[in-house]
Amino acid sequence: MATRSTRRARIAEATRRDILAAGREIFSQQAYSEATITQICYEASVTRGVLQHQFGSKLGLFVAVFESLQHDASVQISEAIDQHQDPREQARAGVAAFLDACTQPAYQTVVLKEGPAAMGWERWRERVAHCYADLVRAFVDMLAPAGQDEYASAILTATMRGVLTELSFQIAQSSDQALARDHGLLIVSCILNCFRATSPDSASPEPIRVGIGQLRAGASRYLDRVAAGETIDVLRRGRVVVSLQSTR
């Protein structure tokens, strides 16, 4: 009896893998709204009932495919981070691995292009954050000194999530994705070289003060000024949350 149950479990798991592979193939090539359960069942050689038993619905299968791609990217990021001891190199290697994932067609289509529409923005945002959680943590650990104000650390975390999310979208939409990936890594290198976390009490000699919105709108211009030796304090509601300063 135990052997029969084990055999059934193996068959069920193999069937699940087949459906997941079929879903990954189809969702990677078609928009979520255009893909059909009939197509997926035909590709996986299963009935609609079997698919629904395993994943519940087309959306359930899409989420499973999404999570499998996220898992693959997360493993690659963690492995890249673990190859280095220096926090700065850990962050740089992790970003490179993440940006590499963003150039993969399946990741682009399922995670970046179709994910937000199929899953809803908030659900998508929450799940994507898990993918590069280790990477964001590496940034925060490096840029925020021990004992850093929790509010400032939270702002830094949100900033890095925003940077990585926007870079992923830019790469997916670029006509030259390899070049976009290299530019993205260069921008992150500038951040690593120029940003240091600061407490609201710290002072710098006559820094330039800008709001987060101003920084976002003129990021390139402000990074050039930092590279030239100027110090820029980034404000949120009148409070300094991050200071940009060249390390050279």
- The whole-number pLDDT of residue 208 equals 78
State the amino acid at position 202 in one-letter form.
Answer: S
pLDDT digits (tens, 9 = 90+) for 2-22: 577 788 888 889 999 999 999
- Looking at per-residue pLDDT, the higher value among 235 and 106 belongs to 106
Give the Cβ contact number of residue 166 at 10 Å: 12
- The answer to whether the CB of 236 falls within 8 A of the CB of 155 is yes
Question: Is pTM beyond 0.85 here?
Answer: no
> Residue 228 gets which letter from DSSP?
T
Alpha helices in the chain (DSSP H): 2-29, 37-44, 48-55, 58-82, 87-102, 105-107, 115-119, 121-131, 133-143, 150-173, 177-194, 212-217, 219-227
Mean pLDDT, residues 164-181 taken together: 92
The per-residue pLDDT for 151 is: 67
Q: Write out the two tokens for 169.
A: 């979208």
Pick the closest to residue 104 from 16, 24, 21, 20 (CA basis).
24
